[in-house]
Each structure stands twice: as C-alpha cells, then as structure tokens.
Structure 1
Amino acid sequence: MKICPKCRRSFPRLLALSRIDNKTMICDKCGTIEAIKSIPLSKISHQERTRIAVEATGNKWAIENFNATHN
C-alpha cells in the first residue's frame, strides 16, 4: 500500500502526478483537486468547478443531489 503525501490516506497505488512539483505521485482525488485549483476562475464558473469536485468524490448520492439541484 502507498500513502498519499497530501491526504495521508492509503491506496494500492498512486496514479496522479502532483502539479506542484511535477515529480510527487499523489492519489487521484488529490490530483483532481490540484487540477481544479489550477484552472483560472475566469475560465470556469463556480457551479462547474463545484460539479467537477463533486464528481471527483465518486459519491453517487452527492452527484445525484448536485445534478438535481443545479439542472
């Protein structure tokens, strides 16, 4: 098992490359969060940024709830 250096959770493998130093491997969730934060605010709406973050969690209830309240 590998430990993500950002969130300290344990994973079978770390598949995302950190955008901060371009050499540290991190978990998919932390990688997605870094990617979202790297997008300039003027390029993506707050709602779209939130949708991406909710989908990154993989929580089906949260995704359904977001879609139900934002469509």
Structure 2
Amino acid sequence: MKKGADTEYKALTIIAEMIIQFGTLHILNISTADSEALQSARDGLEKIIQQNGYRINYDRNIKSPIIKS
C-alpha cells in the first residue's frame, strides 16, 4: 500500500464483516474480562471504518457490509 493512501475498500469490507460477526457472541457464555476485551477490539475496528468515511451496514437487503457516510 502506498504511503498516505486510504485503507483499501476490500480491507474495510472484511473488517465490517468481522464486526457483524461480533453480534453472534452475545448468545455465548463469555467472561466479563473477555467481553470487555472484545468490546474494545470491536470499538477499534469500527473506528477504522469510520475514519475512512464509511459506516457499517446492518441491513441484510443491501449486499455491501459498509456504506459511505
């Protein structure tokens, strides 16, 4: 990747798909410490998407996992 370039769109879509998968964890038993670590990781990943001018798309009718803000 070139210096100063925005994060590649494909990378952002993969990150968004990872974040969406975090939602499936709520039905599993996870310790409080692990839950806090997971939330911190999720927040960091969401920040990457937002800093690149996108937001996560939770609407399953739209195929792209991210939408331009």
**TM-score interval, smaller chain:** 0.3 to 0.5
TM-score by length of 1: 0.33
Higher helix share: 2
Higher relative contact order (CA 8 A, sep 6+): 2
TM-score by length of 2: 0.33
